Amino acid sequence: MNHNPVYLALDLPRLDAAEALARKVAGHIGGIKLGLEFFCAHGHHGVHELHKLGLPIFLDLKLHDIPNTVAGAMQAIHVLQPAIVTIHAAGGRAMMEDAKAAAGENCKVVAVTVLTSLDGDDLASIGVNDQPHAQALRLAELAHSAGLDGIVCSGHEVGAVHKQWKDGYFVVPGLRPQNGGNGDQKRIVTPRQARDDGASVLVIGRPISRAEDPLAAARAIEATL
Ligand SMILES: O=C(O)c1cc(=O)[nH]c(=O)n1[C@@H]1O[C@H](COP(=O)(O)O)[C@@H](O)[C@H]1O
* Interface predicted TM-score (ipTM): 0.99
Give mean pLDDT, residues 66-94: 98
pLDDT at 38 over 90: yes
Structural domain includes residue 213: yes
Structural domain includes residue 143: yes
Residue 61: CB within 6 Å of ligand 1?
no
**Measured CA angle at 115 (ends 88, 84), to 5 deg:** 50
The model carries a pTM of: 0.97
Query: Which residue type sits at 142?
Result: L
Return the residue whose CA atom lies nearest to atom 22 of ligand 1.
9
Could you tell me the end-to-end alpha-carbon distance of the chain, in angstroms, rounded to an integer? 13
At 26, the pLDDT band (50, 70, 90 cuts) reads very high
Cα of 202 from ligand 1 centre, angstroms: 10
- Predicted pLDDT of residue 2: 53
60, β-bridge pairs? none
Residue 111: CB within 6 Å of ligand 1?
no
Q: Assign residue 81 a region: left if phi > 0, alpha if psi is -120 to 50, beta otherwise?
A: left
Structural domain includes residue 135: yes
- How far is 151 from 169, CA to CA, in rounded Å? 7
Return the residue whose CA atom lies nearest to atom 24 of ligand 1.
35
Structural domain includes residue 15: yes
Structural domain includes residue 134: yes
Total domains present in the chain: 1
Residue 197: CB within 6 Å of ligand 1?
no
Q: What is the CATH number of the domain that holds 19?
A: 3.20.20.70
Residue 176 assigned as binding residue: yes
Structural domain includes residue 191: yes
Lowest mean pLDDT among 55-64, 179-188, 191-200: 179-188
- How far out from the chain centre does Cα 79 lie? 20
- Tens of pLDDT along 122-180? 999 999 999 999 999 999 999 999 999 999 999 999 999 999 999 999 999 999 998 77
- Asked if residue 139 lies in contact with residue 151, where contact means CB atoms within 8 angstroms, the answer is yes
Return the residue whose CA atom lies nearest to atom 16 of ligand 1.
205
- Return the ligand 1 atom nearest residue 206 CA: 19
Structural domain includes residue 140: yes
Structural domain includes residue 1: no
Catalytic: which of 52, 62, 108, 166? 62
Q: Which residue range(s) make up the domain with 94?
A: 6-224
Q: Is 62 a catalytic residue?
A: yes
Cα of 167 from ligand 1 centre, angstroms: 23
Query: Which residue type sits at 24?
Result: K
- Return the ligand 1 atom nearest residue 184 CA: 18
Crossing angle of helices 132-145 and 93-102, in 10° steps, is 50
